[in-house]
Amino acid sequence: MTPQEQLEGMNPETYAPYRDPREYIQSWTDKIWIARGLGHIFDHYDPKIKVHTCYGETYGMENVISNSLQKMIAFPNRGGGHDDVVWERRGDNGFISSHRVFNNATHLGPWTYGPATGKDWANRGVAHCVIQGGLVAEEWVIRDEFAVLQDLGMDPYVVAAELAKRSPVLGEQIKTGGDPPAFAGRYRDPIKTGISGDRPDHARPECETVVKLFDRVWEHKFFDLIPELCSDTIVCQTVRMGRALGISNYQLETMKLLAMIPDADVEIRDICVHDSADLGLRVATIWCLRGTYSGAPYYGPTNGAPLTILGSSHFEFRHGKIIREWRFFDEIAIMAQIINHQNQLDATAVE
């Protein structure tokens, strides 16, 4: 399904005053963050906006304005580029947008991580948004916060310990052992429906390839199937600005993620597909891993902490195979869950 075919019959007010959803996302992002038109948030967000992060939930316009204003002060030269906007129609009056961004800035003001350091940082992230009637109604945000701390010269374990006490977004305890709203429910057939609602039946072969990757490779550990699904020249861009080149390195990068949580239940929570003349066919996903920190001790000694890892992957296809993956998750959120669980174990031992 071409971009033009997706636009046919779609209410133009859904992405007005722009030409299409891609321009809608890029233009209002620039107006808010580059031109500092923070007030434009009122033009583009539903007053009851729901924002889901790796740490918790925020609801309503006041939280969006407050968090954005604080971030602008902390990183006044925050810039970066629009890596991609993968969008797909959701009914006649809406669409889903998976906006992949490259961020860079200088830490010039106070932030949740402490006073200004004057250091530069860069990271990547994804904003996965549901737009209805021209307004962002719901958003899932995933950022590589470890990369930021690494550039700022801060100890990620110290920051994660603080986050185990309070979320930088909500100011409340991180929830573990249960499913907060961002992770609630299950989507057993994400090709048909996911967190963004029912999706059109197009690009089924590519969607089935992605589902097979998560099910057979991630869930059931058939890493030898990767050459069947991916090009020999596969490149995975991942956290801490890392890159895995070629089949062997791609296998190892995927195994590394799963090794710390070997009992993980793997779920695709949303699929969004876009095929354009300039960038080809891309499949954007939101995924979730649920399990225990019982494998490789990447973040300190294993302690059986229950982990819920929210992530996103963008896949680029060529000739029916995956040639690029951009994979994002928040390691600091993982570490905070591990530390939080250890604190609970220590408290129980004292009692």
Residue 1, pLDDT score: 73
Tens-binned pLDDT, residue by residue, of the chain (351 aa): 777 888 888 899 999 999 999 999 999 999 988 898 988 888 899 998 888 888 777 777 887 888 889 999 999 998 767 999 999 999 999 999 999 999 999 999 999 888 999 999 999 999 999 999 999 999 999 999 999 999 999 999 999 998 887 654 333 444 444 566 667 788 989 999 999 999 999 999 999 999 999 999 999 999 999 999 999 999 999 999 999 999 999 999 999 999 999 999 999 999 999 999 889 999 999 999 999 999 999 999 999 999 999 999 999 999 999 999 999 999 999 999 999 899 889 988 876
Q: Looking at the domain covering 181-350, what would its CATH class be?
A: alpha beta
> CATH topology of 3-152 equal to that of 181-350?
yes
Domain extents in the chain = 3-152, 181-350
Residue 54, pLDDT score: 82
Residue 115, pLDDT score: 94
Among the four given CATH numbers 3.40.1190.20, 3.10.450.50, 3.40.140.10, 3.20.20.210, the one describing domain 3-152: 3.10.450.50
- SS3 of the chain: the string is CCHHHHHCCCCHHHCCCCCCHHHHHHHHHHHHHCCCCHHHHHHHEEEEEEEECCCCEEECHHHHHHHHHHHHHHCCCCEEEEEEEEEEECCCCEEEEEEEEEEEEECCCCECCECCCCCEEEEEEEEEEEEECCEEEEEEEEECHHHHHHHHCCCHHHHHHHHHHCCCCCCCCCCCCCCCHHHCCCCCCCCCEECCEECCCCCHHHHHHHHHHHHHHHHCCCHHHHHHHEEEEEEEEEHHHEEEEHHHHHHHHHHHHHHCCCCCEEEEEEEEEEEECCCEEEEEEEEEEEEECCCCCECECCCCCEEEEEEEEEEEEECCEEEEEEEEECHHHHHHHHHHHHHHHHHHHHC
